[in-house]
């Protein structure tokens, strides 16, 4: 696979990752007034994770935990208004004054979108982890394997199998010589 062996591709993805994170952050914060939001930001971050995974760079560990945390955040934001007698998924706003930024408005929708980002990024990471391994290779908490690691494991298994077949063949040759 050229992506895992090419320094140009690997370094290009390594250098482009921070730019893509800035784009995802912009989409995340612009999502209420313009196209974007948590899902679009999550997809951009998911694309970064997929590219990094393809060339063997590090990706976030424990994607199932990310999805779980995202679901809990969304559930809490959705149910919180019921505790104070408001309707399900009601939105609250806060205004904060910062010295350099001025007045910043934030609301529960921003936290909700953060949960959406966690779910989308966790889903992409989970899919990559599942596709890159055999069903019994990974256990919860294991490090994520890269395509290069999987290729190396397959080659090692093939060499081990060929070595065992060679040993079995030499044992049968030795056994047939003793019978004479």
Distance from C-alpha of 180 to C-alpha of 175, rounded to nearest angstrom: 10
Contacts of 65 (CB under 8 A, 6+ apart): 122
Q: Kindly report, residue by residue over 47-60, the tens digit of the pLDDT.
A: 999 999 888 888 88
Q: What pLDDT score does 4 carry?
A: 60
Rounded to an integer, the average pLDDT of 35-63 is 90
Q: What pLDDT score does 138 carry?
A: 47
68-74 long-range contacts, CB within 8 A, separation 24+: 68/122, 69/115, 69/118, 70/114, 70/115, 70/116, 70/117, 70/118, 70/119, 70/120, 70/122, 71/115, 71/119, 72/115, 73/111, 73/112, 73/114, 73/115, 73/118, 74/112, 74/115, 74/116, 74/119
More confident residue, 45 or 106: 45
Distance from C-alpha of 79 to C-alpha of 89, rounded to nearest angstrom: 7
More confident residue, 102 or 172: 102
Q: What is the pTM of this model?
A: 0.68
Q: What pLDDT score does 136 carry?
A: 52
Highest mean pLDDT among 78-87, 93-102, 139-148: 78-87
Among residues 110, 86, 82, 83, which one has the least CA distance to residue 96?
110
Q: Which two tokens stand for residue 57?
A: 């760079």
Helix (H, G, I), strand (E, B) or coil at 114: helix
Phi and psi angles of residue 71, each rounded to the nearest 5 degrees, phi first:
-65, -40
Paired sense of beta strands 102-107 and 93-98, if any: antiparallel
């Amino acid at each position: 696979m050229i992506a895992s062996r090419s320094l140009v591709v690997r370094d290009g993805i390594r250098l482009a990752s921070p730019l893509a994170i800035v784009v995802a952050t912009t989409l995340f914060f612009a999502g209420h007034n313009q196209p974007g939001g948590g899902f679009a930001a999550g997809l951009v971050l998911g694309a970064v994770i997929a590219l990094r995974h393809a060339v063997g760079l590090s990706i976030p560990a424990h994607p199932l935990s990310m999805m779980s945390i995202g679901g809990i955040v969304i559930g809490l934001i959705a149910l919180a208004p019921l505790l104070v007698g408001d309707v399900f998924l009601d939105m609250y706003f806060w205004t904060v004054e910062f010295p350099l930024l001025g007045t910043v408005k934030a609301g529960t929708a921003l936290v909700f979108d953060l949960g959406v980002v966690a779910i989308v990024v966790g889903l992409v990471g989970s899919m990559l982890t599942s596709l890159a391994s055999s069903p019994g290779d990974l256990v919860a908490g294991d490090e994520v394997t890269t395509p290069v690691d999987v290729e190396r494991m397959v080659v090692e298994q093939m060499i081990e199998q060929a070595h065992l077949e060679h040993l079995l063949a030499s044992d049968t040759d030795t056994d047939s010589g003793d019978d004479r």
